[in-house]
Amino acid sequence: MSRDLDISVCIIEDDETIREGYAYLIGQTPGYKIAGSYPSFEDAAKKIAQDDPDVILLDVELPGISGIDAIPKLKKLVPDAFILILTVYEQELLIFRALGNGASGYLTKNTSPEKIISAIHEVMEGGGPMSAHIARMVIHSFQRNEASPLTRRETEILEQIATGKSRKRIAQELFIDLETVKSHIKNIYHKLNVHSKADAIKTAKDNKFI
Amino acid sequence: MSRDLDISVCIIEDDETIREGYAYLIGQTPGYKIAGSYPSFEDAAKKIAQDDPDVILLDVELPGISGIDAIPKLKKLVPDAFILILTVYEQELLIFRALGNGASGYLTKNTSPEKIISAIHEVMEGGGPMSAHIARMVIHSFQRNEASPLTRRETEILEQIATGKSRKRIAQELFIDLETVKSHIKNIYHKLNVHSKADAIKTAKDNKFI
DNA sequence: ATTAAAATAACCTTGTTTGGGTGATACGTT
DNA sequence: AACGTATCACCCAAACAAGGTTATTTTAAT
C-alpha cells in the first residue's frame, strides 16, 4: 500500500510519553503516517517545512514559545497544514485565541484514540473537530443575554454606535430624528450607568446585551 | 424500564415523512421518548410547555414563522429545553442567526440516525453538536485575514476605535502621543480607502482585518 | 551593515460630535 | 389609569474628527 496517499501528521508536544503515544497511535493506523515529532516549536521550526505535513497536532503548553503563539508561525512555515490543538486547557480565552490564530480544531486530552484519528480525518474533509464542551463554549459565545435591560430600539441603536457611526448617520439610516437618537442614548447610558460611548459599548459587550 | 428517566424529545418539522421518521427513530431507541411532534411552531406553541421536553429538534424552513425566529419563542415556552437545529440549509447567515437566537446545536439533514441520537445525548451532557462543515464555518468565523494591509499597530488602534474610544483615550492607554494616534488613523484611512471611522470599521470587519 | 518598513511626533485648520439637562407627545398593553 | 416605549424639541459647552504636510526614531529584514 502506497504511503504517499497516507495523511501525514506532525506532533508538537513536550511530554515524551504522550508524544510517543500519539506517534504510535498514528503510525500503526492504516492511512496515516508520522512526518515528524517535536518537543517544542523551536525544534519543529527547523524541519517541519520539509516534513510538509497535512495535519499538525499541537499542544498549548510548550517550553519556549507557547502553542497558541506558534500557530501563526506554523501557518507561515506550512501554509496548507491544518492545525489541531490537543490540550488539557479549556479556558475560553485560550480557545478563542487558538481559533483566532488559525487552528482548525480543538481537542481536549481525554479524547479517545479513535476520536483523535477521526478528528484528523475530519479536518482533512473540511470539518472543524472540537470536543463537546469546547463546541458548547464556542456556540455560547454567539448568544445574547436574554435579561438585557435595553429595549429593542435601544439595543439596535447601541449596535449602530458600536459600528462607529455618528448619531446623525444613525438617525438618517433609521429614519428618525437626531433628537430621538439622542434620547435613546441618554436612556441607554442611564440604564447601563455609564457616561460615554466607549463605556456603554464595553458594558453591553461584557454582558452580552449586544 | 422507567420512561421517566428517558430523554424526552419534541420535533417541529413540516414534512410529515421526515417528522415521522425521526419520531420512529427516537421512539424505538432505548433511553429516549417522544413528548410531542408538530408540523409548525404555531401548532407546537399550544402544547409544548406541557410536553416539557429536554430537547427540541427544530427545522428552519417551516410554514408560518420560521424555525430561526421560533427559537426565542420556544426558549420562553420551555426555558430549560435544548434546541437542536436540523436542516438542509448551510448558509452562514442562517447558522449564526440560529446560534445567536439560542440554538445549542446545528445538524444538517444528511446526518445519520445514530449521529442524531448521539447529538441529542451530547447536548444533554453540555456539548454543542454540529455537523462537520458547520463546525468549520463556525471556527472560520473567529479567524482573521492574514493578508491584511494594516500593520500590527494600525490593527491595534483600529480595534480600539471599534470599541468607541476617543483618540485621546487610545493615546493614553497605549502610552503614545495623540498625534501618533492621528498619524496611524490617517494611514489606516488611506490604506482602506475610507474617510471615516465607521467606514474604516466596516471595511476592516468585512475583510476580517479586525 | 544597510535599507526598507513601521512607529513615533509636530503644527495647521474647520466643521462635527458628544454628553448632559429638561420636558413633551403619542401609542400600545396591561 | 398607569406603564413602558418610541418619538421629538431646545438649550449649552467642551471635546472630537478629518484632513493636510513634514520629519525623526526604532525595528525588522536582507
Q: Give me the residue from A100, A143, A164 closest to B143, CB to CB.
A: A100
Nearest by CB to residue A138, choosing from B138, B144, B162, is B138
In a mutational test of the B interface, the residue from A124, A141, A142, A201 whose CB has the highest number of chain B CBs within 10 Å is A142
Q: What pLDDT is recorded for position A2?
A: 53
* Confidence category of residue A165, pLDDT binned at 50, 70, 90: very high
What's the Cα-to-Cα distance from A210 to each of A5, A155, B136, rounded to whole Å?
47, 7, 24
What pLDDT is stored for residue A1 in this prediction? Answer: 56
A46: pLDDT confidence band, cut at 50, 70 and 90?
confident
Q: What are phi and psi of B192, to 5 degrees?
A: -90, -5
* Distance to chain B for A141, nearest Cα, Å: 8
Q: What is the pTM of this model?
A: 0.91
Establish whether the CB of A152 is closer than 7 Å to any nucleic acid atom in strand D.
yes
B126–A128 C-beta distance less than 8 A:
no
- Residue B98 has what pLDDT? 96
With 70 as the cut, is the pLDDT of residue B59 above it? yes
CB of A167 within 7 Å of some strand D atom: no
Mean pLDDT (whole number) for A178-188: 97
Residues 6+ apart with CB under 8 A from A148: A155, A207, A208, A209
Q: Check CB contact of A99 with chain B, cutoff 8 Å.
A: yes
CA distances from A142 to A205, B96, B139, B205 (A): 11, 7, 12, 16
CA distance B11 to chain A (A): 21
CA–C1' distance A179–D10 (Å)?
10
Q: What is the pLDDT of residue A3?
A: 61
For B164, the closest of A72, A122, A197 (CB atoms) is A197
| pLDDT at site B85 | 97
Q: Show residues of chain A in contact with B200, CB under 8 Å.
A: 164
* Residue B63 pLDDT greater than 70, yes or no: yes
Which residues are CB-neighbours of A95 under 8 A, at least 6 positions away? A106, A134, A137, A138
pLDDT digits (tens, 9 = 90+) for B116-130: 999 999 999 999 999
Look at residue B5 in the predicted model and tell me its pLDDT.
85
The answer to whether the beta carbon of residue B15 comes closer than 7 angstroms to any atom of strand C is no
Per-residue confidence (pLDDT) for residue B23, from 0 to 100: 96
CA of A203, closest CA in chain B: separation in Å? 11
Q: Please state whether strand C lies within 7 Å of residue B174 at its CB atom.
A: yes
**Domain ranges across chain B:** 3-140, 152-206
Q: What is the pLDDT of residue B3?
A: 62
Q: What is the mean pLDDT of residues B150-168?
A: 98
pLDDT at B1 over 60: no
Residue type, A86: L
Strand D closer than 7 A to residue A51 Cβ: no
Which residue lies nearest D19, CA-to-C1' measured?
B186
- The verdict on B110 touching A (C-beta cutoff 8 Å) is no
Give the CA-trace dihedral at B103, A96, A22, B125, to 10 degrees. Answer: -30
pLDDT-based confidence at residue A64 (cuts at 50, 70, 90): confident
Binned at pLDDT 50, 70 and 90, residue A5 comes out as confident
pLDDT at A76 over 90: no
pLDDT higher than threshold 70 for residue A66: yes
Superfamily assignment of A3-140 in CATH?
Answer: Response regulator (3.40.50.2300)
Mean pLDDT, rounded, for A151-165: 98
Q: Which residue of B has its CA nearest to A170?
A: B198
**Per-residue pLDDT at B2:** 54
Strand order in the sheet with B105-108: B32-38, B7-12, B55-58, B82-87, B105-108
**Half-sphere exposure at residue A189, Cβ-oriented, CA atoms within 13 angstroms:** 13
Residues 142-171 (A) with a CB less than 8 A from some CB of B: 142-144, 146, 161-166, 169
Nucleotide nearest to A198 (CA to C1'): C18
Architecture of domain B152-206: Orthogonal Bundle (1.10)
Quick one: what percent of chain B has pLDDT higher than 70? 99
List the single range of A3-7, A153-157, B24-28, B166-170 with lowest mean pLDDT.
A3-7
Model pLDDT, residue B90: 92
